Chain A
């Protein structure tokens, strides 16, 4: 029964191996999530995740290395923005230069609602007047 200590040793190691594997899966998931929100600068309407371009592959490798080195998601995104600008973000940030972009549609909606309201009111007012005239 000399194998028993070895078996016990392996059994004791198993959780460690499992947690190692799940850590790797976590990093994979983080790399994928980050790559999905970053633009491939070669084929510009694809994300780094979807793109087969060489540069996109290199960036995925770079993201992987930084994830493994313990960088936060924010630090990794900031690293790429420093080199490629906001252009690398598929979702533009909310800041003065992009206020028109983010708030423009909302402003148009408010404007349209306001216009619709005045028109409806006027239409109702003129209908009421016609009704009164008919009644009289």
Chain B
């Protein structure tokens, strides 16, 4: 077999391998353990979201007012199982002085309030998204989702699914430390 002919016969195999690599590469951009592609909102400005507080009489959530300092925004619901699993991580961030804000997504407010009363309230402010419009504004695929926003109001990270201790140590804490103090 001439070398040229060998090349010709190898072509389909090479094409298959190249396509497989392409597909694998695209699949790898999905978030760990989910079928959620990267957020379309990543590296873009946090949309303007203004919500009433879950706690009557307390100030609500206004993303415009949050500019100037980095923060974490968590979308959660009492009816969502994974939200219960990740809750300790939100409390941990809040204990470390990180500004954590919440959006209570399509929930029964009474139950949401007792959830926070029982398990602890990590949120500096938590708005209620009764009709799910704020969720769509953020482009969420489900709950929980957690966003890291920098001092200029740019979304720097989106995590779909429950936060683990590892997520905090590997991604959230280093990123927030950097955003707090970019020169360090």
Q: Which of A16-48 contact B (CB under 8 A)?
A: 41-42, 44
- Does the CB pair B40–A85 fall under 8 Å? yes
A-B contact count (CB 8 A): 41
CB under 8 Å from chain A, chain B span 125-159:
131-133, 135-142
Please report the total number of A residues contacting B with Cβ < 8 Å: 18
Chain A residues with Cβ below 8 Å from B131 are 58, 61
Evaluate contact between B106 and A54: CB separation under 8 angstroms. Answer: yes
The closest CB in chain B to the CB of A59 belongs to B136
Q: Does A84 lie within 8 Å of B35, measured CB to CB?
A: no
B73, chain A: closest CB distance, angstroms: 15
How many positions in chain B have a CB within 8 Å of any CB in the partner chain? Answer: 21
* B contact residues around A62 at 8 Å (CB): 133, 136
Cα–Cα distance between A58 and B106 once the two chains are bound (Å): 11
Interface SS, B side: loop
A100 interfacial contact with B, CB 8 Å: yes
In the complex the two chains form, is B132's CB within 8 Å of A82's CB? no
Bound CA–CA A108/B41 (angstroms): 35
Cβ contact within 8 Å between B132 and A87 = no
A83 touches B139 (CB 8 A): yes
CA distance A83 to B41 in the complex (A): 6
| Pairwise interchain contact A84-B139, C-beta atoms closer than 8 A | yes
Query: Closest A-chain residue to B141, C-beta based?
Result: A41
User: Cβ of B40 and Cβ of A55 under 8 Å apart?
Assistant: no
Say yes or no: is B48 at the interface (Cβ < 8 Å to chain A). no
Whether, in the assembled complex, A81 has its beta carbon less than 8 Å from a beta carbon of chain B, the answer is yes
- 25 A-B residue contacts at CB 8 Å? A42-B141, A42-B142, A44-B35, A54-B106, A55-B135, A55-B136, A55-B140, A58-B132, A58-B133, A58-B135, A62-B133, A62-B136, A81-B40, A83-B136, A83-B137, A83-B138, A83-B139, A84-B40, A84-B139, A85-B37, A85-B38, A85-B139, A87-B37, A87-B40, A108-B15
Q: Which residues on B are within 8 Å of A, measured CB to CB?
A: 8, 15, 22, 35, 37-41, 106, 131-133, 135-142
Given contacts A81-B40, A84-B139, A85-B38, 6 further A-B contacts (CB under 8 A): A42-B142, A55-B142, A58-B136, A83-B40, A83-B136, A83-B139
Interface, chain A (partner B; CB < 8 A): 41-42, 44, 54-55, 58-59, 61-62, 81-85, 87, 100, 108, 115
